[in-house]
Copies of this chain bind each other. A is one copy, B any other.
Amino acid sequence: MKKRGRPREFDEEAVVASMEALFWQQGLAATSLDDIAKTTGLNRPSLYSAFGSKVDMYLLCLNAFAKRMTDLFQAAFDQSNTLEDALNDLFSSLIATYYCESDKTFGLGCLVFSNAVVEAPTNERVQSMIESTLDVIRKSVRTSIIKRLPNVDEETLSMVTELSLSTFLGLGIQIRSGVNRVDIESSARNSVKAVGRLLA
């Protein structure tokens, strides 16, 4: 049984992807519905009826981005053997994402933590989305450390968790600040080395 009514003429996933790219570069406040309409090819009423308000669209993109990001955490922690290997994998894939999978010299960092974070104090929905994402990531890191080092003491566990988390957050900020990729990669390697030494 087919769906009634006139069928959609656009690919929803593609539209969300191009919305996300726009928000990622410009931020929520600097992006207008006209901007979104222009890059997606839809007109404002279509956007509005399909996705709701501008903030709704933004949250849609944030959640899509966060999902891909937490998947990267899961993938790295599931596949690799040692904690250091896992973190190296993780940071490599994060860096690739933060540079928009391209070889551009300028990266955009993290949509959630280098971009949406600006809106947190003035937008409750965005704020709680960010806070819960941070929570998921922190727990994911903690769990993966415990899995590999079941007898680790609480102090070391906290130290390594916070170090990994700060590195994760710092990477996005530094990339969006314009730090070049070579320096970023060495920064990530140094963090992983620090973890290694802490556990030695």
Contact = CB atoms under 8 A, between A and B. Distances in A.
A65 interface: no
A179 B134 contact: yes
A190 to B, nearest CB: 4
Contact of A190 (B109, B128, B159, B194): B159
A80 B13 CA distance: 55
Contact of A177 (B130, B167, B177): B130
A118 interface: yes
Contacts of A119: 27, 30
Contacts of A118: 27, 114-115, 118, 176
Given A27-B27, A30-B122, A118-B118, A162 B191 contact: yes
Contacts of A169: 166, 169-170, 173-174
Given A121-B176, A122-B25, A197 B159 contact: yes
Nearest to A117: B176
Contact of A162 (B29, B130, B134, B190): B190
A177 B122 contact: no
Given A109-B117, A155-B193, A162-B190, A131 B177 contact: yes
Contacts of A120: 176-178
Contacts of A197: 159, 198
B26 A177 contact: no
- The 8 A-B pairs at the shortest CB distance, nearest first, are namely A166-B170, A29-B29, A29-B30, A166-B166, A169-B170, A27-B118, A162-B190, A131-B178
Interface of A: 25-27, 29-30, 106, 108-109, 113-115, 117-122, 127-128, 130-131, 134, 155, 158-160, 162-163, 165-167, 169-171, 173-174, 176-179, 186-187, 190-191, 193-194, 197-198
